[in-house]
Amino acid sequence: LIVAAAASLPDALAALFGPDVIAESAVPALVDEQLFAEERAYIARAVDTRRAQFGTARVCARRALARLGIAPCALVPSQDRAPQWPAGIRGSIAHTAQQCAVVVTRAGPIMALGLDLESDAPVKAGLASVICTSQERAWLARFDAPTQDWLVPLIFSAKEAFYKCQYPLTSTRLGFTEVELDMNLEAGTFCVADLSDHVPERTRARQIAGRFGRIGRLIVTAAVLES
């Protein structure tokens, strides 16, 4: 099973999101001195690793927003932890211990973005049964064990990217088995079916297009909703 690997995270983000989306990434570092006072207050009591990821994401986000002509501003999450972007901006944030990345775009044809990063390090035994539907487990069973070790974090990541993309539109929390993925490994794409139907706006979230890539041991997943 060959999945095209990108040379770097910026290359992967550009390929996955296309030219209308601005991406910035960096290795997490403690950058408290580069944060706005309200951001520092928000994250003050977190452990160093979390403060580094949160802070580096803000630095990346301001760099990306500057490329859209937006002056530096505080980016404090809302109460539900979702990012709050300046008016007219859509975006998404992801981090691992090794990388932070942010994507932003001006609202227009692109209505929402979702980004996730995951290491493909071996996952906890039993994770597949928690995050996968029975159909996804049947699909996984077609692959050998080493391949499954990579596909389980890919499914996890794709569902998180989808979740981050749909949330600003629906304000709805979703369980992992409430959505089902149709992965196309050759094309590096995925479609998402929403299995729970109680929120009408979700019909829109059905059209979210997913893509994924790898840089070394890092899995990158992208979800984009176009009008």
Ligand X SMILES: CC(C)(COP(=O)(O)OP(=O)(O)OC[C@H]1O[C@@H](n2cnc3c(N)ncnc32)[C@H](O)[C@@H]1OP(=O)(O)O)[C@@H](O)C(=O)NCCC(=O)NCCS
Spatial separation of the C-alpha atoms in residues 30 and 58, rounded to whole Å: 11
Work out how close the CB of 4 gets to ligand X at its nearest, in angstroms, rounded to a whole number. 22
> Tokens at residue 190, please?
């995925």
Amino acid in position 160? E
Residue type, 219: I
Instruction: Please identify, using beta-carbon distances, which residue of 70 and 159 lies nearer to ligand X.
Output: 159
| For ligand X, the closer CB: 6 or 192 | 192
Closer by beta carbon to ligand X, 66 or else 195: 195
* CB of 20 vs ligand X, minimal distance in Å: 20
Q: Tell me how far, at minimum, the Cβ of 196 lies from ligand X, in Å.
A: 10
N- to C-terminal Cα distance for the chain?
33
Q: By C-beta, is 1 or 121 nearer to ligand X?
A: 121
Q: CB of residue 191 vs ligand X: minimum separation in angstroms? A: 13
185: left (phi over 0), alpha (psi -120 to 50) or beta: alpha
Task: Give the C-alpha separation, 102 to 167, whole Å.
Answer: 16
Q: Which one-letter DSSP state was computed for residue 5?
A: B
Contact footprint for ligand X (CB under 6 A): 54, 57, 77, 80-83, 93-95, 116, 159-160, 162-164, 167, 174, 176, 179
**Inter-CA distances, 225 with 15, 84, 169, 211, Å:** 16, 18, 10, 12
